[in-house]
Amino acid sequence: MANVQSKRLRYGEYGVLLVIIILGLSGILYFGGIVSYSIEFYLSLLLTAFGIYTVIFVFYYRRFIRKDERNYMFLWGYIVAAIGFALFFDLYTRNLFLNVSIAVVIGALLGFISIKYATG
């Protein structure tokens, strides 16, 4: 008998699973005729999900991630989610630069709060 060991999935493996799930969901929504938005909608869905996943991963595993990597992952998770939200709201506002500007201001405020109240 083979000795089978189970291991915990890592960030990249969860990320690949999330991308596959979002692509499958997008295919169902588009080709099923449920949501017939432009490519912006589906790209925003993918980016927002991956960015939020990254931020949640950082908070969930914060004890196991070094502080500099934690800040780096949180920053990129926020950036990806913000671009996803900006693309999504572009469907309604038709002003992508306004949406990105709002995301930048919110990011600056989050960065200030993170620096001010960060604990080792």
Nearest in space to 50 (alpha carbons), one of 21, 26, 76, 15: 15
Per-residue pLDDT at 17 = 93
Cα–Cα distance, 14 to 99 (Å, whole number)? 29
Cα–Cα distance, 66 to 88 (Å, whole number)? 32
Cα–Cα distance, 39 to 91 (Å, whole number)? 10
H runs (alpha helix) in 11-95: 11-31, 39-60, 67-93
Per-residue pLDDT of the chain (120 residues; tens, 9 = 90+): 455 555 666 888 889 999 999 999 999 988 888 887 788 889 999 999 999 999 888 888 877 888 778 878 888 888 899 899 998 888 889 898 898 888 888 888 877 776 666 555
Per-residue pLDDT at 1 = 47
In terms of C-beta distances under 8 Å and separation of at least 24 residues, what long-range contacts does 22-27 make, across chains too?
Answer: 22/46, 22/49, 22/50
Per-residue pLDDT at 24 = 94
The angle formed by the CA atoms of residues 97, 102 and 105, to the nearest 5 degrees, is 125
Burial 44-74 (b: 16+ CB within 10 A, else e): bbbbbbbbbbbbebbeeeeeebeeeebbebb
Place of tokens 């991956």: 50
| Single pTM value for the model | 0.79
